[in-house]
């Protein structure tokens, strides 16, 4: 991946995450953090895929990072966590695979469509499981945090 | 006795209104329960019993006769209101505002709708479509046409949602419009790839709020509201898919 491509992807993810945030009407103060969390989540996914970790693990780790970073942002800004993790999730949505699935079902090529269907299910499951893991990290951290004070 | 009863009534009213506003605008159930419990506790109620679902809330305080119910009739996505309720609840907890003030402000919040200006929403729909098309498909030449198609698709969704108020139908119509426009623009030579344009343009319609909330509700052990949200997300996704599939039949 060249530097130009990297910069384009950073800008694209940042702008797209903020755009989705505006569509959901999240408060202005939260937009910047949400944007950067979206960028970080996508690049965790991207680098794991580049280093050969596979797209399922990539999506899962991306979701974990989004969950953990959103809780930190929520704590700093004193705002609900969903303001950050919902827009940040958008770059991970398997839009391409879902579209290919619909297309091949519509064209009647069911065997190709099932390949994409399985990918969509795997990715959605990985993201859900990633959120589960991030919740685990958050709860352990909260315990430790409370214990220390 | 009478003043105590009035006070209890006000606590119930405030907590129920806060809960309803949060669910209506797309909060997860665990947060609603937590906020309502905090309000009751901070207002001086000894105990509170809650039953929160995404179609209605039931609440009683101090174990007395006379639980109250608050139906949740409509569901939109306006995360700012959740944030405002959260702020008010925090202010109430540190005694910056009184219970009566809290209740009044909630009533005011419920009536007002403060969205971003329309042109900004349209622009951000374009800014979700185009950049994500480039990120997913690495197809720079189609950036502009994807922005335009995405914004137009979202415009159809917005207008229909305003007038017929059935979310799934609006999503279906918007997806069909996106499909037609994408095929048309490639036909006219404005774009190169129908697939890439559609993938980008559909992104503003993704049901992000129900998906996230569904997962979080199920994890929190809320086995009624979590799957209900999941069904909402699934129907939305299916509506978008049918819209696209219908157009692709005529490709």
- What does the DSSP assignment read for A55-117? HHHHHHHHHHHHHHHHHHHHHHHTS-THHHHHHHHGGGS-HHHHHHHHHHHHHT-HHHHHHHH
Q: Residue B65 class from Cβ within 10 Å (0-12 exposed, 13-18 middle, 19+ buried)? A: exposed
Q: If pLDDT is split at 50, 70 and 90, which confidence band does B185 have?
A: very high
At residue B211, does pLDDT exceed 90? Answer: no
Question: Considering chain A, what percentage of its residues have pLDDT values greater than 70?
Answer: 99
Residues of chain B in contact with residue A70, where contact means CB-CB under 8 angstroms, are: none
Q: If pLDDT is split at 50, 70 and 90, which confidence band does B105 have?
A: very high
Q: What is the pLDDT of residue A114?
A: 94
Question: Considering chain B, what percentage of its residues have pLDDT values greater than 90?
Answer: 58
Q: What is the pLDDT of residue B46?
A: 86
Residues of chain B in contact with residue A128, where contact means CB-CB under 8 angstroms, are: 215
The pLDDT tens digits of the residues spanning B34-60 come to 999 999 999 888 888 899 988 899 999
The pLDDT tens digits of the residues spanning B126-156 come to 999 999 999 988 889 999 999 999 999 999 9
Q: Does A121 touch chain B (CB under 8 A)?
A: no
Question: Do residue A24 and residue B206 have CB atoms under 8 angstroms apart?
Answer: no
Domain interval for residue A69: 3-148
Q: Say which residue the tokens 């797309």 belong to.
A: B26
Mean pLDDT of B161-188: 92
To the nearest whole Å, the CA of A78 is away from the closest chain B CA by 8
Q: Does B29 touch chain A (CB under 8 A)?
A: no
Residues 6+ apart with CB under 8 A from B186: B192, B193, B194, B197
Question: Considering chain B, what percentage of its residues have pLDDT values greater than 70?
Answer: 99
At residue A19, does pLDDT exceed 90? Answer: yes
Interface of B with A in 50-79 (CB under 8 A): 77-79
Query: Would you give the distance in Å from CA B99 to the centre of its chain?
Result: 27
* Test mutation, B129, B216, B221, B244, chain A, max A CBs within 10 A: B216
Q: If pLDDT is split at 50, 70 and 90, which confidence band does B167 have?
A: confident
* Test mutation, A2, A19, A121, chain B, max B CBs within 10 A: A19
The pLDDT tens digits of the residues spanning A84-106 come to 989 999 999 888 899 999 889 88
What value does the mean pLDDT of chain B take?
A: 90
The pLDDT tens digits of the residues spanning A49-68 come to 999 888 999 999 999 999 99
Domain count, chain A: 1
Q: Does B174 touch chain A (CB under 8 A)?
A: no
Cα–Cα separations (whole angstroms), residue A113 to A97, A104, B154, B245, B249: 9, 5, 27, 13, 15
Q: Count CB neighbours of B4 within 10 A.
A: 9
At residue B250, does pLDDT exceed 80? Answer: no
Question: Do residue A16 and residue B237 have CB atoms under 8 angstroms apart?
Answer: no
């Amino acid at each position: 991946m060249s530097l130009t491509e990297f910069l384009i992807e950073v800008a694209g993810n940042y702008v797209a995450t903020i755009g989705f945030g505006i569509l959901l009407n999240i408060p202005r103060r939260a937009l910047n953090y949400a944007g950067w969390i979206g960028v970080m989540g996508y690049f965790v996914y991207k680098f794991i895929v580049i280093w050969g970790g596979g797209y399922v693990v990539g999506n899962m780790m991306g979701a974990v990072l989004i969950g953990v970073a959103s809780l930190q942002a929520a704590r700093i800004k004193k705002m609900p966590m969903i303001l950050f993790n919902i827009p940040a999730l958008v770059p991970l949505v398997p839009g391409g695979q879902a579209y290919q699935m619909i297309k091949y079902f519509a064209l009647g090529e069911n065997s190709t469509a099932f390949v994409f269907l399985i990918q969509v299910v795997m990715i959605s499951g990985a993201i859900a499981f990633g959120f589960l893991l991030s919740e685990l990290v958050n709860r352990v951290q909260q315990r430790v945090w409370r214990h220390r004070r | 006795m009478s003043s105590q009863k009035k006070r209890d009534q006000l606590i119930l009213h405030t907590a129920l209104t806060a809960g309803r506003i949060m669910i209506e605008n797309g909060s997860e159930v665990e947060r609603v329960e937590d906020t309502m419990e905090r309000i009751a506790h901070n207002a001086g109620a000894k105990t509170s019993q809650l039953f929160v679902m995404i179609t209605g809330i039931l609440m009683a305080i101090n174990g007395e006769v006379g639980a109250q119910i608050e139906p949740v009739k409509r569901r939109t996505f306006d995360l700012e209101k959740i944030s405002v309720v959260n702020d008010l609840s925090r202010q109430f907890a540190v005694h910056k505002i009184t219970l009566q003030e809290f209740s009044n402000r909630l009533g005011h919040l419920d009536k007002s709708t403060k969205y971003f200006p329309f042109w900004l929403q349209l622009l951000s729909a374009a800014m979700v479509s185009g950049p994500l098309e480039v990120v997913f498909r690495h197809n720079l030449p189609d950036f502009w046409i994807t922005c335009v198609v995405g914004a137009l698709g979202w415009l159809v969704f917005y207008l229909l949602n305003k007038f017929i108020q059935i979310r799934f139908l609006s999503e279906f119509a918007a997806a069909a419009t996106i499909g037609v426009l994408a095929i048309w623009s490639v036909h006219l030579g404005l774009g190169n790839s129908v697939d890439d344009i559609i993938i980008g343009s559909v992104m503003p319609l993704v049901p992000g709020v129900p998906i996230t909330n569904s997962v979080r509700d199920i994890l929190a052990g809320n086995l009624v509201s979590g799957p209900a949200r999941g069904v909402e997300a699934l129907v939305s996704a299916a509506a978008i898919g049918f819209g696209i599939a219908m157009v692709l039949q005529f490709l």
